[in-house]
Structure 1
């Protein structure tokens, strides 16, 4: 007798994303923190979308639900949140389970294990829209990554990151960040930010927006996802860069 969908979900030791599946089943993750505060359009009809750092695939599937014609998801599985064991990151297994349950074919929902530094038009083609959520601060070379993504993005890049406006481990912790729109980015050589050794760089919201501008996006908007965060995990910012003139 085959396992039920609920049993297959429960068999995985860790879920990052909270994904709604058929039959009222929801995967037991916690991200995204507040989907409504993300600036992703409700209508992505006909768009080709790249989802960077896809993990379980929440935003890949959300793009398809919103009408995208094709999604390419990439991840290199390097983030262990500073706490997960190796067997708790199950590569694409959780993504594949959700893709199957939602009924999306590989033709319109492809996933590729690769580093963001390796993206290229030759390998992946061009995209109308790029998602880069929960990834930037894990990168040793964040501006290089944005330059790479900008090089194959024709329209808009949506960017979510940890930010320093309300928290800095060097300034005194929660409530002691850079609240005056400073242009600052901090480097963490060990695990200073959130106890995660793969958190390398965190910018202020102002810095995040200007990094998108530096990567070639003419119009940029940015905002905090939580106005007055009460914990480090809620100190997040969102930015949208458009190439429209």
Structure 2
């Protein structure tokens, strides 16, 4: 799973990395301690009225709320979605079909029990990661404004990370970004499975090290302990 991550890259860098055409409003700045329900940048491909395609960088709530949920957000956690059955689960299946996104990250955190204490580890590469994600537009009641919400897909862990956790996010290689985001494609479980297969070499290349307990929010949080 992925219960916390870091994104050190500012908006202008993300624009270059992901070849962004349109930048949305209220994008959050760099953060080294992103937690569920925080606002996070996501990358989506959309179609205009004339059928023209645009790549957008938008701000989303990290914890997807399906559009059919009314009233309060669900009590169960929705910041991660299991890839194995994403296309058949009520919370995710509509998003798999037509609302797929990328969630940029510098790296993510997992907590490992060492001598009876949960110790954070930072998992990353030197390049910006793009986790496979899903999104949904939601509002509690019809008079509320729409809110963009998102989740990160997870997969069974690669052997290289098995000592850290039994699952890891789905980090897509650059050559798969357009396939995953394609607004013309109706997403299926086969597409999700293909994304996981494409992510395996990226996940296997990730490195990890121990960091100090996550307090506050600054670049020191990803320094080696």
- TM normalised by structure 1 equals 0.27
Larger Rg belongs to: 1
Larger relative contact order (CA 8 Å, sep ≥ 6): 2
Quick check: which one's helix share is greater? Answer: 1
Quick check: which one's strand share is greater? Answer: 2
